[in-house]
Structure 1
Amino acid sequence: MGSAHARDLLDLPAHLGQRSASYRFDLIDGRTGVRRGALTPLRGSSPSLSHDGTSTIARRVSGLTLGVDDAARVNPVTDRIAVWMVLGDAGRTEYPLGRYMIGDAADLVTSAGSTSPLTLFDEMFLVDQEMEIGFDAGGQLVDQAVARLLDGLPIGAVMVDATEFTSVSSWSPGTSRASALRDLAASGGYFMPWFGHQGLLRLRRAFDPASEAVTIDLDASGRVIRGSISRVSGLLDAPNRFVAVSNDPGSDAEPVVGVYDVPASAPHSIARRGFVLPKTVDVQVRSQAQATVYARTLGIQQTVYETVELSTPADPRHDAYDVVRWNGRRWLEVGWTLPLVPGGAMRHTLRRAYADTNGGEA
């Protein structure tokens, strides 16, 4: 995407103590995709972009306030705002940070006119609306059912990993389309869906971060800010077994059950704790293999392992579900917050990955 010099600016090698970067906010007509110029937040406002992998609407921009002239240009109903990080290298390398809808707008009346504080949401806000008619997955492959569920929505291309699993679930009118999407994602073995830096909806197959290739190596770059590290442990009451049960009320057949146990190397595992602390969910799946994948996906996403928060210089390469090496171990990044002002430090939330071996560590 960028030149070697731009990558050096992001990695901050030992000889480079700081770098220059700024942010651009483009006003876009959501109906046509035509760029209508740049927006300039008021001086003194401190917008920030956050990503929370546990939320239906994963991304939002807060603290963005527009001046009188820019506020008059914005149509909150139809416009979108695209955010870019612009490096201070000779080529002015740009990195996209997503496209957003205006979810909350207000007018602050002054003697010079009205300014506008805005809260922006990613386009999952559009998906997260009630369905006028019900939806039946009809036994289709989950990726095909997802395409049919989202057909006709003005959200652009959808990037969905292939899956061998089908869905027999259905949802009634009035159900949130995003809720149906989340259910389909779980039954297909996907992480929570999210809109990424390119502004596209993404469904990625869940993986074990302890055995996945590292995508961001904080040990190699040495970019973690000293004094920014805090640790949280929720191991005391964390489940160590996840059970997915599929019952057919109209059948005498035995229920389909899938089980996933957290790796034995985890400090709260069954082997180390000495007893089972389960979490059981009801699902609609057809096979034991699919129930097992459902339980595994739930365990990978929801298990409360050791969590660390730390800060680094702003880095647009962090998107979602990155496998991060820090302090000699692998972590799954589940959230971050990026101040959209020059010099702001990026705050990351990493969850510890444990290898699926007795006593081994990632």
Structure 2
Amino acid sequence: MQQNDKYIFVTGCAGFIGFHLSMRLLDEGYSILGIDNLNDYYDQTLKYDRLEILKKSKNFIFIKGSIENMELLSSLFKQYEIEKVVHLAAQAGVRYSLENPHAYIQSNLVGFANILECCKEHQIKHLIYASSSSVYGNNKQVPFSVSDRVDQPISLYAATKKANELMAYTYSHLYKLPTTGLRFFTVYGPWGRPDMAYFIFSNAIIKQEPLNLFNYGNMKRDFTYIDDIIESIFRLLEKGLPIDLSPPYKIYNIGNHQPVKLHDFIQVLEDQLGMRANKNFLPIQPGDVQETFADIEDIVKFIDYRPKTNIEDGIRNFVKWFKEYYNLS
């Protein structure tokens, strides 16, 4: 590595989206500085296996550490010439925020404040950060638009993501830091997170265990395939922010714009796995929302890209990886 190489700093690089984005950026010839604390929120083996793939590239540098550690972050920004930041590290999961709220305060609020400070101090060209569709709460107006009021989060996770957007706005306003927040809508695909519904469903079907369907299966989700997410982030990185934004601040929905009923989603999973699910219908859980549906016209117009992976193709790709990774016949 040359001393004057410029890096894209990817936080949460061993996570689901962080891994796929790092792979794409490395394939495109970028140098990546990645950080991840490799916590045990879900199976660490998956994180280490993703990391091993990334480490095969000579243009990838990995730092094991937490974004809550301001001293570490500051030293990285001083040591490496970081041009842009994609901040994906966070304590994920809606339901877990009911059990361990302090993990969300530390990672999602303290950690994000540290990222903002470092980006401000080192005049980063563009900070792209992960928000979430969960900020919409039980919004009754569909599709969800970024112009909708999102002042009633129904989980602490959602509250921290809304707080991130407000914090980013403040830094964009005060310090002209260019920031783009992405409200992700139910991302799925190979190398996904085991705590996500489609992963849990697949395990239950394979093991012929009861498959819990909350709200009696009457949920709708705007499932968005990982490749479509990565293509969108890549184009945003290449293009930057729309010109003449004052402050230089933007939020986008990043979804598929095609909500799928949970019943239909499970049907596709069953077809691809070649097995029937043992369904167990239960009431809705605290923190869950009944439907997510992204209005994506703003981002489609700006980056000239519309997600194109249908649920059948996406689940087929996931199941293929799932069987290979876990050595399932």
TM interval, shorter chain, is under 0.3
Name the structure with the higher helix share: 2
TM-score for the superposition, normalised by structure 1? 0.24
TM-score (norm 2): 0.26
More strand by proportion, 1 or 2?
1
